[in-house]
Each structure stands twice: as structure tokens, then as C-alpha cells.
Structure 1
């Protein structure tokens, strides 16, 4: 699961193989916001599937689209 720091936010994004459809992948995202405690991550968007109507042929494609979705969800500075 790739993790990326974007400004004050940390995003985790992943391609997850769909159990009901062994040939397709879904995009998932978790977004963590700033925290005053470095030992505690503040999940402002808990891990969940994004792009609900879209499936992907491989994990890498799902990851790429999950990352794009996560960046779009971040508050713009």
C-alpha cells in the first residue's frame, strides 16, 4: 500500500482485488490529517473504496486512480 505525504496530509492508496470478481480491482483511499502527536495518525477519511462505479484490470491501475482521487479530495491550499 503506497503512502505519500501531500502538504500536511498523508494519503494511503491501494488497489484491492475484488472477492466477488477475481479479475478486477477496486481503488481504496485513507487520508490522515495533521496531528499534534507524532505517534498518532489522525484519519480524516477512513479507509474505504473510492470510484465506486469503476473497476480496474490490475492493481497498479487501481492504485494510480486511487491516488488521483485522494489528491482531489484534499483541501486545496
Structure 2
């Protein structure tokens, strides 16, 4: 699982291999800042993204999850500006 901080958000991207298949799916979780360092503010619970796509590798699935996270974060920032 790949973990990264983008601005104030922490994202976790992962690829999960499908059972009885060589394909991989993209999973994503996004956490916002919390005033308690022992607690993570889960704003996008771990779930599959790009649900209509099966990837050839774990790395491709993780990259798609990261792209999806960046899109969500950018949309959130635009809403905050208006």
C-alpha cells in the first residue's frame, strides 16, 4: 500500500489482485487532518475506484488510485475557494 501526503490530506493507494485472476483493481482511502494525532479523520473510506477497469499490474492500479485521489482533492479545494 502506497501512502502519501498531498497538501493537508493523507492518501493510501493500493492494488488488489482479483481472486482467480491475473487482474488488479485500484483501491483508495483519503484522510483529512485531525486535532488528535492518534485518530485519522476518514473522509473517503477505503474502497475500490475505477470500478469498470481491471489493471495488468499492482503498480498500474496504485497509479490510477493516486490519480483519482488527486482529482478528488482538487475538486474539494475548488469548492472551498467558492
Q: TM-score range by the shorter chain?
A: over 0.9
Normalising by structure 1, report the TM-score: 0.93
**Where do 4+ consecutive residues of structure 1 move more than 4 Å?**
none
Higher Cα Rg, which structure: 2
Query: Where does residue 53 of structure 2 map in the other structure?
Result: 54
Aligned residues: 76
Q: Structure 2 unaligned segments of length 5 or more: list them.
A: none
CA RMSD of aligned residues (A): 1.0
C-alpha distance in 1, partners of 2:61/2:77? 23
Query: Where does residue 21 of structure 2 map in the other structure?
Result: 22
C-alpha distance in 2, partners of 1:7/1:66? 17
Q: Specify which structure has the higher proportion of helix.
A: 2
Question: Counterparts of 1:23-42 in structure 2 under 5 Å?
Answer: 23-42=22-41
Query: Where does residue 76 of structure 1 map in the other structure?
Result: 77
Normalising by structure 2, report the TM-score: 0.88
C-alpha distance in 2, partners of 1:27/1:56? 8
| Offset at residue 76 of structure 1 (A) | 2.2
